[in-house]
Structure 1
Amino acid sequence: MRLYRRQDAQGASLAVYLHGGGMFLGSLDTHDTQCRIYTHLSGAALLSVGYRLAPEHPHPVPVEDCYAALRWAAANAADLGIDPARIAVMGDSAGGGLAAAVALLSRDRRGPALAAQILIYPMLDDRTVVAPPDLADTATWSAADNLTGWGCLLGDAAGGPDTPAYAAPARADDLSALPPAYIETGQLDLFRDENIAYAQRLSRAGVPVELIQYPAVPHAFDTFDPAAAVSRRAVDNRVRALGAL
């Protein structure tokens, strides 16, 4: 784990940050710059988690690693100078899916109470293996990539009838009593439909939800062009979500 905080932040909020990478890529270092930016601009502390990756460590290892990090953060809140009532989970892509799964785990196991779940174009549904016609030529994370990622995490069970919700949160039957959600997606993102559907289901379950769809951008658009106006707007909105903890 790697902790990011501003020295002038006392009694601050904290987001347990889970990096993207399709369940089989990514590390603390690949998302170091983003974490520094979010902490600097928001004042919230971030605890970035180097969870173990599939396929060497298939489900449930990654999500259990992330949940263990959340429990550690809550147990050590006083020593970290963190308000235990202001802890969130946050992640992008695969990390967004893991953040949603950690929220489910913490609810079901009566773990740390979460102030929010901040889900950046999250990877939620192992059944998304065919791109809609309008995305076939634009998805920077393709249906084939998604099939690879879920296959690494779940093996032959990917896409089958028995996928657990803690692996693919879109499979959860009950989304009630979860923390408020900030969810964003891109219009040209393979995850667009599953992200919107998850936000709608959360809302119907009584969970406060903010859903943002950015027009005409693909998956991880802010990584490909951080200087673009839409990328700067996305960072501003994420910082606002962190600042609201």
Structure 2
Amino acid sequence: MIIGDRFTGVEVVLDWVERLQGVCVSVEYRLAPEFPDPYPVEDCYAALLWTAEHAAELGVDPDRLIIVGASAGGGLAAGTTLLARDRQGPALAGQVLIYPMLDDRNDTVSAHQIDGVGVWDRTSNETGWSALLGERRGTADVSIYAAPARATDLAGLPPAFVDVGTAEVFRDEDVAYASTIWASGGVAELHVWPGGFHGFDLMAPQAVLSRAMTAARTAWLTRLLDS
């Protein structure tokens, strides 16, 4: 929510562009605290609208739009998917949520466990959410588009791929999000990688666990597009 640009982590998607003959549209969404909620998620939704409207120009099949995001981007991808559902489009064929940042309340077991250790801990999480939401963080005045873990009804969403490591703040909220999709009658594939810390696939891409993580995502995308 507070750092990065449209090139951060884009190598993950560029691999799919090459393998799956896709087109990547990466969003330079505005960052908190200068641009708090709802600016970031509305920027992402505006980019989705633009992509759908320019599909022919981009060489994109409008029936095969897939939204992807990691960490804060994963939370924004989930929020944008909810906006697309509730605003009746554009239609998405799938959503890839890579260790997504979903819950501003920062009060799960994993959020308490990962405190003072790792690349993104409980304090980092509080800082990021406070920048995005200000005094609203942790209160009832937070929308499901800003913090998708707040949603109790996840029906009507496209198939989801969710992955997360066991040694990170987002573990429990990500597992809960996939569980809510299932409880709402939706489709989700969930992977929880043992010992994985936040962003380990990017920081240690040659590790066996990292290769397995990226292969699982690619396999899911391939099945989705083949269907």
* Bucket of the pairwise TM-score, normalised by the shorter protein: over 0.9
| Cα offsets for 1:200-236 (capped at 9, x unmatched) | 0100101111000111111111122111111111111
Paired residue for 2:39?
61
Which residue identity is paired with 2:18? H
Structure 1, residues 122-159: CA drift from partner, whole Å, max 9, x if none? 00000115764643465431000000000110011111
Deviations 1:170-197 (A, max 9, x none): 1113211111110001011110000000
Counterpart CA distance in 2 for 1:98 and 1:193 is 18
d(CA) in 2 for partners of 1:43, 1:83: 11
Q: Whose helix fraction is larger, Structure 1's or Structure 2's?
A: 2
Residue 45 of structure 1, CA deviation: 2.0
- Equivalence for 1:9: none
Unaligned runs of 5+ in 2: none
Quote the offset at 1:35 in angstroms: 2.9
| Residue 80 of structure 1: aligned partner | 58
- Counterpart of 1:229? 208
Aligned to 2:185, which of 206, 209, 217? 206
Is 1:30–2:8 an aligned residue pair?
Answer: yes
Which of 144, 152, 156 matches 2:131? 152
Q: Which residue of 1 aligns with 2:48?
A: 70
- For residues 121-132 of structure 1, the aligned pairs below 5 Å read 121-128=99-106, 132=110
SS at match of 1:49: coil
**As a proportion of its length, which structure holds more strand?**
1
Give aligned pairs, total.
223
Structure 1 153/125 Cα, relative in aligned 2: closer, same or farther at 3 Å?
same
Q: What's the CA shift string for 1:14-57, capped at 9, x where partnerless? A: xxxxxxxxx00011232243332232233322211111111111
Name 2:162's counterpart in structure 1: 183
Letter in 1 for 2:169: L
1:42 paired with 2:20, answer yes
Match of 1:216 in 2: 195
Return 5+ residue gaps in structure 1 as ranges. 1-22
Q: In structure 2, what is the equivalent of residue 17 of structure 1?
A: none
SS in 1 for 2:34: coil
Partner in structure 1 of residue 220 of structure 2:
241
Amino acid at match of 2:121: S
The reply to whether residue 194 of structure 1 matches residue 170 of structure 2 is no
CA-based RMSD of the aligned residues comes to 1.6
Picking from 78, 82, 85, the partner of 1:104 is 82
Q: Cα deviations across residues 93-121 of structure 1 (Å, max 9, x unaligned)?
A: 00000010011000101111110111000
What amino acid is aligned across from residue 27 of structure 2 in structure 1? V
Q: Which amino acid aligns with 1:170?
A: A
Q: Whole-Å Cα distance in 2 between the matches of residues 158 and 72 of structure 1?
A: 30
Q: What does residue 4 of structure 1 align with?
A: none
**SS of aligned partner of 1:218:** coil
